[in-house]
């Protein structure tokens, strides 16, 4: 039986957080996916902290994690030889096949006895849990059913090749390892295709060289590059990458070669990163990729760096755990949570009264420490300009300007240097944001702002992010950029206006009916009848 996507608060994810998630994707989606700090979870630790592996439990847990925009999902999967399928329960589950042979039944019983010793069937529940030693498991919680939650499509399989299971369930959405190797061999035909509107614009994130293939002598290729998220989504229509983690010794004979074209090899797209952090403040004392001695992307070797932490998804904003997750992201490390999930909704990272102000600044003051906040677009701040499209090189405009003048101010600042190209931009990753934050701190004395007494602080700078075209829709295409999600936002706003309007109309109609009924009652009570000549009745005084 398949699992379906069913978050606890679907309306909040779609209407309230939808524009926030889209803006975040547009920002990080412009750079290679191996450079972005995607949050992740150890699924077994988060969804089964009490060793309960229930279908309903996993449906809700995974749906909430997907809705909250977690990107890394670390699954512990086990080969269930009794049922010939991959499952999430750490022990063998008794066969549910009524046509199983006697040998299979014996194997299942023997396996069950080894796992449970004194095991017995648990009390019936909505998950139909079985008590198997230290674990409670649903017989239908297979890896197939988990993939169905991503795809909403069920296809029963007894294949013993994991890559084939993934391929069969999610084939249209998987970006396979073989495709990565092919794309790397010809960048002008893939990630840098000139006729592709979603082609990567930045070229400073990985090494490239001119090579020769069977049809062309000058082919731009890369030995270590990765595509961007926007390219995968809109050019390849890919949504999923699959890689191996650790493999138990009992699986040493597994046929890895059959998965090679679909599943990425071990350690190819995941690098556990060691760090040390203060237990009371969450500040990193070692392991941060920020290097104040260089801004060269080739020397800041961050790629698929994962930091495992016991921080809880529902940690409060001022807790050390919350600060630790933020500090890991700022240091170029993807935080992987190992604790249970009890958070209902994600939290906003754009501080300030967003409904009043439509433009964003990075603020390096002690109150914000490099976080973004909204500001009045007519205020004057210096603008953050990216240097030669490089990830970690920034320059600030010499004078404070309004948001509308920021793009031109960056261009003007580079006119005296013909070898430098400055572009008004925003940091695409947490590590890029850290470099800009420290650049701001180191250059505060040289910044100038407007001369009025109400001048904004020089610790802040404009970044290329605004919601001028539509409230709540943040775009990265400059002051004149348009919101591509206006229809969705209009639908949400229409609901907000329509529902109270209908309610007001209903109240108005009821009030009108009440008034008419009252008038009619008074009319009947107060009217007077008199008998005239011949026995007929009339109201009032005859003329």
pLDDT of 165 over the 70 cut: no
Show the beta-strand stretches assigned E in 139-277. 209-211, 219-221, 271-272, 276-277
Q: pLDDT tens across 238-282, in order?
A: 888 999 888 888 877 888 888 889 999 988 998 889 999 998 888
pLDDT of 427 over the 80 cut: yes
- What pLDDT score does 301 carry? 83
Torsion of CA 230, 231, 237, 241, to 10 degrees: -90
**Most confident listed range (217-226, 384-393, 513-522):** 384-393
Q: Are 303 and 334 contacting, i.e. CB atoms less than 8 angstroms apart?
A: no
Q: Which residues make beta-bridge pairs with 417?
A: none
- Local confidence band at 345 (pLDDT 50, 70, 90 cut-offs): very low
pLDDT-wise least confident of 27-36, 352-361, 478-487: 352-361
Length of the chain: 543
Q: pLDDT tens across 348-384, in order?
A: 455 555 555 899 999 999 999 999 999 999 999 999 9
* Phi, psi torsion values for 326, nearest 5 degrees: -65, -40
d(CA 483, CA 475): 6
pLDDT of 2 over the 60 cut: yes
pLDDT of 449 over the 50 cut: no
What's the pTM?
A: 0.78
pLDDT of 481 over the 70 cut: yes
Q: What Rg do the C-alpha atoms of the chain give, in angstroms?
A: 31
pLDDT-wise least confident of 63-67, 149-153, 209-213: 149-153
d(CA 25, CA 33): 11
Q: Is the dihedral of CA 357, 360, 363, 367 positive or negative?
A: positive
- What pLDDT score does 34 carry? 94
- What pLDDT score does 503 carry? 46
DSSP letter at 16 equals I
Q: Which residues make beta-bridge pairs with 143?
A: none
d(CA 283, CA 51): 32
Residue 146 neighbours by CB distance under 10 Å: 24
- What pLDDT score does 365 carry? 92
Torsion of CA 409, 415, 419, 420, to 10 degrees: -10
Q: pLDDT tens across 468-477, in order?
A: 988 888 899 9
- What pLDDT score does 318 carry? 65
- What pLDDT score does 530 carry? 54
The predicted model gives 81-85 an average pLDDT of 83
Q: Please tell me which residue, 529 or 164, carries the higher pLDDT value.
A: 164
CA 319 to chain centre: 22
Write down the H helix ranges in 320-417.
320-330, 406-413
Q: pLDDT tens across 294-336, in order?
A: 998 888 889 999 999 876 655 555 678 888 999 999 999 999 9
What ranges do the domains of the chain cover?
Answer: 350-484, 488-528
Structure tokens at 460: 């802040």
pLDDT of 113 over the 50 cut: no
Residue 163 neighbours by CB distance under 10 Å: 21
pLDDT-wise least confident of 85-89, 198-202, 238-242, 346-350: 346-350
Residue showing tokens 């944001």: 433
Q: Please tell me which residue, 107 or 456, carries the higher pLDDT value.
A: 456
d(CA 349, CA 373): 8
Question: What are the DSSP calls for 435-455, one per residue?
Answer: HHHHHHHHTGGG----SSTTP
Q: Buried b vs exposed e over 422-440: b needs ≥16 C-beta within 10 Å?
A: bbbbbbbbbbbbbbbbbbb
d(CA 176, CA 193): 20
d(CA 538, CA 285): 100
- Local confidence band at 418 (pLDDT 50, 70, 90 cut-offs): confident
Among candidate residues 250, 346, 321, 315, the one with its CA nearest the CA of residue 7 = 346
């Amino acid at each position: 039986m398949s699992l379906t996507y069913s978050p606890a608060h679907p309306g909040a994810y779609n209407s309230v957080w939808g524009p926030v998630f889209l803006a975040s994707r547009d920002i990080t989606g412009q750079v290679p996916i191996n450079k972005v700090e995607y949050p992740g979870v150890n699924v077994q630790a988060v969804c089964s902290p009490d060793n309960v592996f229930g279908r309903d439990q996993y449906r809700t847990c995974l749906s909430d994690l997907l809705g909250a925009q977690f990107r890394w999902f670390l699954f512990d999967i086990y080969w269930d030889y009794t049922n010939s399928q991959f499952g999430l329960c750490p022990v063998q589950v008794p066969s549910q096949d009524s046509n199983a042979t006697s040998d299979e039944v014996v194997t299942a019983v023997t396996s069950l006895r080894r796992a449970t010793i004194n095991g017995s069937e648990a009390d019936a529940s909505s998950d139909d849990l079985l008590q198997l030693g230290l674990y409670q498991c649903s017989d239908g919680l297979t890896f197939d059913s988990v993939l169905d939650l991503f795809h909403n499509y069920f296809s029963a399989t007894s294949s013993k090749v994991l890559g084939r299971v993934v391929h069969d369930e999610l084939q249209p959405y998987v970006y396979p390892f073989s495709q990565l190797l092919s794309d790397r061999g010809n960048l002008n035909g893939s990630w840098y295709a000139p006729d592709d509107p979603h082609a990567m614009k930045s070229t400073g994130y990985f090494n490239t060289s001119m090579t020769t293939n069977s049809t062309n002598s000058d082919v731009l290729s890369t030995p270590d590059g990765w595509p961007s998220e926007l390219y995968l989504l809109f050019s390849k229509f890919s949504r999923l990458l699959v890689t191996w983690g650790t493999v138990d010794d009992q699986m040493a004979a597994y046929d890895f070669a059959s998965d090679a074209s679909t599943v990425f090899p071990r350690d190819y797209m995941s690098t556990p990163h060691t760090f040390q952090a203060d237990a009371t403040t969450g500040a990193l004392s070692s392991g941060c990729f920020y290097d104040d001695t260089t801004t060269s992307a080739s020397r800041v070797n961050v790629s698929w760096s994962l930091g495992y932490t016991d921080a809880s998804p529902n940690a409060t904003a001022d807790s050390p755990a919350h600060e630790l997750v933020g500090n890991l992201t700022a240091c170029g490390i993807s935080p992987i949570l190992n604790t249970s999930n009890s958070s209902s909704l994600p939290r906003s990272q754009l501080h300030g009264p967003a409904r009043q102000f439509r433009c964003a600044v990075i603020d390096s003051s002690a109150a914000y420490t490099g976080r973004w906040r909204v500001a009045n677009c007519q205020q004057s701040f210096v603008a953050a300009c990216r240097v030669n499209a490089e990830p970690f090189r920034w320059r600030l405009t010499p004078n404070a300007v309004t948001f509308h003048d920021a793009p031109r101010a960056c261009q003007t600042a580079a006119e005296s240097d013909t070898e430098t190209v400055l572009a008004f931009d925003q940091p695409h990753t947490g590590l890029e944001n850290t470099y800009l934050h420290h650049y701001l701190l180191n250059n505060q004395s040289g910044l100038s702002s407007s001369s009025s007494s109400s001048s904004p602080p020089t610790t802040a700078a404009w970044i290329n992010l605004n919601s001028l075209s539509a409230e709540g829709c943040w775009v990265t295409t400059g002051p004149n950029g348009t919101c591509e999600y206006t229809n969705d936002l209009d639908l949400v706003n229409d609901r907000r206006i329509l529902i109270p309007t209908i309610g007001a109309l209903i109240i108005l109609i009821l009030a009108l009916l009440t008034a008419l009924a009252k008038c009619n009652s008074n009319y009947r009570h107060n009217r007077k009848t008199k008998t005239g000549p011949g026995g007929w009745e009339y109201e009032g005084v005859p003329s």
